[in-house]
Amino acid sequence: MFAIIQGSAKSPLVSLIAGGAAGGVEATVTYPFEFAKTRVQLHEDSPTRNPFRVIKAVIENEGPRALYKGCETLVAGTVLKDAIRFISFDSIKMAFKDPETGTLSPLRNLMAGISAGVVASTFAVTPTERIKTALIDDARHDKRFKSPWHATSTLIKEHGLLRALYRGYVTTTLKQASTTAVRLGTYNILKDYERLHNIPQTTATTFGNGAVAGTIVVFVTQPFDTLKTRAQSVQGAGVVEAFTSVIKDYGVKGLWRGSTMRLGRTVLAGGILFTTYEWIAALIQPILEKKLIIARSE
């Protein structure tokens, strides 16, 4: 285990590498829960909301490989997304922090998270989420798409580049901005509190902080996630159309459809994401700092 870096500023390169690697690990480990959640959000005939039952049914009916349909796209997008949002958040956080305490107010934490979420949605999340959602939706019935690249080229031919890859941009950005603000904001608030009260930043503390942040994220941002999934299905839908279709099918409570499955994934994902991020940052930051010192001395 590596000691968690406490109170030290991470360089942009450290944030980029650690954030991207952490996102890739988290996405790969928790993807079956994401698959199950997306299936339930797309198809009203799902007999259960228990993620383990959905996963079991998919394995029995479609084989275990089906659980990772669209995984390559999500992992690639998550690596890019988390690299961008961690470097964005850490850079913005450094600009906004209190010079005396080194902490941010809750409002500034949230604003830094929102800004990082918008950047990540624009450059990484919306295109990859669109392809991932289309792959999962297509695997249920039509099975037209042979791979992420085939799905991408097919959708671009049918709808054009922007409409194919940026369908659901508004709902995705709303979800991403709110998720990043709540997740990174909550995590950073907990870390600042622990730093001010001299609570050691152990692996268990970091995992717990990430799990708490993940729990809060689900209940606050689930409606955006539900609308995003509807908007990015194979047929697609606008924001208003996605909203009205969910209300028509399930009522207001339908906006939180899939929250149980997302909760299981997000709590685990939050712990994995931040623990891996801090581990990798603690490993590579001293190496990069040493190389920088050597370079400056030459």
DSSP secondary structure string for all residues of 102-142: ----HHHHHHHHHHHHHHHIIIIIHHHHHHHHHHHHHHHTT
Any domain includes 6: no
Any domain includes 1: no
Q: What percent of the chain has pLDDT over 90?
A: 4
Any domain includes 5: no
What are the Cα distances from residue 85, in Å, to 103, 238, 243? 19, 26, 27
Distance CA 228, CA 114 (A): 17
As for how many domains the chain has, the answer is 1
pLDDT tens-digit map of 110-134: 788 888 888 888 888 888 888 888 8
Among 90-94, 95-99, 240-244, name the one with the lowest average pLDDT.
Answer: 95-99
Q: How confident is the model at residue 208 (pLDDT cuts 50, 70, 90)?
A: very high
Any domain includes 71: yes
Distance CA 183, CA 218 (A): 9
Any domain includes 221: yes
Question: How many CB atoms neighbour CB 255 within 10 A?
Answer: 18
Distance CA 244, CA 226 (A): 12
Instruction: Report whether 114 contacts 135 (CB < 8 A).
Output: no
Question: How many CB atoms neighbour CB 225 within 10 A?
Answer: 28
Give the model's pLDDT for residue 2. 36
Any domain includes 20: yes
Say yes or no to pLDDT of 7 above 50.
Answer: no
Any domain includes 237: yes
Q: Burial-class residue 60 by CB neighbours within 10 Å (0-12, 13-18, 19+).
A: exposed
CATH code for position 288: 1.50.40.10
Q: What is the average pLDDT score of the chain? A: 81
* Four-point Cα dihedral 216, 173, 45, 140, nearest 10: -120
pLDDT tens-digit map of 247-281: 988 888 888 887 877 787 778 888 888 899 989 98
Any domain includes 284: yes
Distance CA 258, CA 17 (A): 31
pLDDT tens-digit map of 222-251: 888 888 877 777 666 677 888 888 898 888
Domain that holds residue 234: 12-297
Give the model's pLDDT for residue 16. 85
pLDDT tens-digit map of 18-55: 888 998 898 888 888 878 777 777 765 556 667 778 88
Distance CA 190, CA 206 (A): 9
